[in-house]
Structure 1
Amino acid sequence: MTKPPRTKNPTFGIAVFIVVAILFVIATLIYNAIRGKHEFESQNAQVPSVTSAAAAAANAMKPASGAAQ
C-alpha cells in the first residue's frame, strides 16, 4: 500500500508568483506616494499659508483712510 508519487501542480507556483508580483507593485506605488508627499511638504514648508496670503491681498485692496474720494 504505497502511495504513488505526488506530481507537482505548476498552476500553484504561477498563482503564487502573480500574487507576489501584485503585492510588489502595490508596495511600490504606496512607497512612491509617501515619498512624493514628503518631498511636496518639504518644498512647500517655506511658503506662507493661503489664509495669510489672502489677508495680505485683501489689505492691499482697501483704500487708505482719509483718501480723497
Structure 2
Amino acid sequence: MNKPPRKKNPTFGIAVFIVVAVLLVIATLFYNAITEKREFDRLDAQAPAVSSDVAAASAAATAAKPASGAAQ
C-alpha cells in the first residue's frame, strides 16, 4: 500500500552542477571576447583618422619628390 520513499541520486545533482558550471565558463568566455572585440573596434576606429592624416602628408611629400629612376 505505502511505497517506500525513493532515494535521491546524488550523481544527478553533481552532473547538473558540472553542466551549469561549464555553461557559465563558456558564457563568460563569450562575454569577454565580445567585450574586448567592441573595445578593440572602438579604439581601432579612432586610429584611421590619425593614420590617414599621416598617409595624406606622406603621399604629398612623395609626390613632390622625383622617382628614384627619374632622370636628373
Per the alignment, residue 28 of structure 2 pairs with 28
1:1-69 equivalences under 5 Å are 1-48=1-48, 59=59, 60=62, 63-64=65-66, 68-69=71-72
Structure 2 unaligned residues grouped into runs of 5+: none
Aligned amino acid, residue 20 of structure 1: V
TM-score, length of structure 2 as denominator length = 0.69
1:44 is paired with a residue whose SS is helix
Q: Which amino acid aligns with 2:41?
A: E
- Cα RMSD of the aligned pairs, angstroms, is 3.2
- Structure 1: where are the runs of 5+ without partners? none
1-structure distance, mates of 2:21, 2:12: 14
| Residues 19, 62 of structure 1: alpha-carbon distance in 2 compared, 3 angstrom cutoff | farther
SS at match of 1:28: helix
Which structure's residues are more often helix, by fraction? 2
Match of 2:6, as an amino acid? R
C-alpha deviation, 1:64, in angstroms: 2.9
Question: Any runs of at least 4 consecutive aligned residues in structure 1 with deviations exceeding 4 A, and if so which?
Answer: none
Identity of aligned residues (%): 64
Rounded to whole Å, the distance in 1 between the matches of 2:29 and 2:64 is 48
